[in-house]
Amino acid sequence: MVVEVGYAQAWDLETRVPWRPISVEEARERDAAGLPYVVIYGVAGREAPLEVRLVSWRDHYVGLWVYDTQGRRTYNLDMRLLNDPMRLLHRYTAGWHYTGPEMAEFDEACPRITVELFPDGRGRRVEEPQGKRGGSHGTVPRVRDDERWTVRPVFGEWPLFSAGFHGLTEPPVFEITEAAAAAEDGGGIAPATCWRPPRPAQPGPIGELFRPGVRVTDGYHPEMMVVEPRRIGALRVPSGLLAVSGPDIDNGDGPHITVPVPPGEYVLEEAQARHTYHCEWEGSEVTRTDTTAVRLLVSECPAATWEMARRPDDDPRLLRENEILGFDTDGATGCFADAGAWEPLLALFEKGLIQGDMDLDPDVFEDISDSMYLLRTRDRASGGELAAFATTGDGTYPVWVGRSEAGEVVGVVVLVEGMPELLPEGGATVGA
């Protein structure tokens, strides 16, 4: 079988057409420079491609979509280039098994199997035989090393990964063709529907959550007004190393996240937003103020950038779309603490909150009421402190570090729930 091969700068997932077709020579140049490009494989007489591959070495990413004759995506392969430049990790695969030609792409009832793999041998396989509407079954995948990794082919020598999906028993003959151009290129800007490498979670307008008068929505309440941040005392960090962690999970490895800061005492704050809703029980409008984030304020200087803090072994190259790194909790609790006194502070936290012995010494334990902050403990030997705060659930919470133009830490923020969205100026709500 003759398989036609075309190149382009991008691929529009919605219209299934290439954006800005390029020659094989230009694709080779982009490959060498690490710039993103796509490769489209098709056969004459078939409207849908066999498969499309997106290569972006600067993002350590190679992605693959396989299409059926109806033009539906049936298989996704996410590969990552890590420390070994000669092989690719099969980071994630997903397969959809459509029950008939009439079933829509990614229908919620479509059976699906996903597999996640990590370079250290970990992994997870999830079967959803009734799609998202039914139950799921998770197992640890048993894969060989050659199934976890793929040798990185040189440019122009990539195999047709979907040959088995399309029933091709003989090696195909590749023929370079000019990809069909999209009808409109948007004035040089790729359409929003164009495929791009996965991006980890972005910080969003974190600074605005502490700026009174800013209007936001959390997805549940159409409009919320940011009010003055609430200050809940201070935290002493004499060691110069701030810990942000789940105090309810202690593996003996120390705090989950650490951030270097100048030794000192820093203000603890809650970002709050006010909203009004109709209370059916009272039969009237009720105004309520909710906490959206907690912050350790290092400096009054505004943050020019925000970055997601990570542990020493965290590899951001493994993150998929909107995935996060952060601290873990199974008790809906996080904390800011002096990492230099982590073990004694953690022991005091467990004694004070879990055992309920806070009345033993008011100089060591401080119960914080009517706040997302719960408890402050103080290590007498070092002077270091721990301030525990509530989150809205279990799981992993990202830690956002704000930096000034000079790169200095000005604040460390944890969103106690999802990131609110800014509302536009002029009174219109999002989606209105």
Extents of the domains making up the chain: 2-188, 207-422
pLDDT at 238 over 70: yes
Q: Give the integer Cα–Cα distance in Å for 144 and 147.
A: 5
**Contact present, 290 and 272 (Cβ < 8 Å):** yes
Nearest to 30 by CA among 54, 5, 63: 54
Helices (H), 252-358: 342-349
Query: Picking from 6-10, 349-353, 401-405, 412-416, which range would have the lowest pLDDT averaged per residue?
Result: 349-353
Q: Which of 55-59, 275-279, 351-355 has the highest mean pLDDT?
A: 55-59
Query: Picking from 27-41, 190-204, 415-429, which range would have the lowest pLDDT averaged per residue?
Result: 415-429
Place of tokens 């989150």: 391
- pLDDT value at residue 270: 97
- pLDDT value at residue 152: 97
Query: What is the percent of the chain with per-residue pLDDT over 90, rounded to a whole number?
Result: 79
Q: What is the pLDDT of residues 106-161, one digit of tens each?
A: 999 999 999 999 999 999 999 999 999 889 999 999 999 999 999 999 999 999 99
Query: Picking from 86-90, 174-178, 386-390, which range would have the lowest pLDDT averaged per residue?
Result: 174-178
- pLDDT value at residue 360: 66
- pLDDT value at residue 432: 26
Give the phi and the psi of residue 47 in degrees, each rounded to 5.
Answer: -70, -45
- pLDDT value at residue 379: 96
- pLDDT value at residue 286: 82
- pLDDT value at residue 352: 85
**Contact present, 379 and 366 (Cβ < 8 Å):** no
DSSP bridge pairs for 94: 76, 114
Q: Give the integer Cα–Cα distance in Å for 19 and 16.
A: 10
How many other β-carbons are positioned within 10 Å of the β-carbon of residue 426?
5
**Contact present, 53 and 66 (Cβ < 8 Å):** no
- pLDDT value at residue 418: 83
What is the DSSP secondary-structure string of 107-164? -TTS-EEEEEE-TTS-EEEEEETTGGGS--EEE-----HHHHEEE-PPTT----GGGT
Model confidence band, residue 13 (pLDDT cutoffs 50, 70, 90): very high
- pLDDT value at residue 428: 41
3-state helix, strand, coil in the chain (%, to 5): 10, 40, 45
Interstrand relation of 37-42 and 87-96 (parallel, antiparallel or unpaired): unpaired
Q: Give the integer Cα–Cα distance in Å for 62 and 197.
A: 8
Higher-scoring residue by pLDDT: 406, 251: 406
- pLDDT value at residue 284: 73
Give the phi and the psi of residue 105 in degrees, each rounded to 5.
Answer: -60, 130
pLDDT at 263 over 90: yes
Longest dimension (CA), the chain: 81
Q: How far apart are the first and last CA of the chain?
A: 52
- pLDDT value at residue 88: 98
How many other β-carbons are positioned within 10 Å of the β-carbon of residue 303?
22
- pLDDT value at residue 189: 83
pLDDT at 184 over 80: no
Give the phi and the psi of residue 186 in degrees, each rounded to 5.
Answer: 65, 30
Q: How large is the average pLDDT for residues 382-405?
A: 96
- pLDDT value at residue 169: 85
pTM: 0.88
CB neighbour burial string for 228-254, b if at least 16 within 10 angstroms, e if fewer: ebbebebbbbbbebbbbbbbbebeeee
Name residues whose C-beta falls within 8 Å of residue 306's C-beta, 6 or more positions apart in sequence.
203, 206, 207, 400, 401, 402, 403, 413
Query: Picking from 98-107, 361-370, 394-403, 410-419, which range would have the lowest pLDDT averaged per residue?
Result: 361-370
- pLDDT value at residue 359: 63
- pLDDT value at residue 429: 40
Q: Give the integer Cα–Cα distance in Å for 316 and 91.
A: 13
Name residues whose C-beta falls within 8 Å of residue 95's C-beta, 6 or more positions apart in sequence.
74, 75, 76, 112, 113, 114
DSSP bridge pairs for 6: 40
Across the chain, what does the average pLDDT equal? 92
Q: What is the pLDDT of residues 275-325, one digit of tens each?
A: 887 676 666 778 889 999 999 999 999 999 999 999 999 999 999 999 999
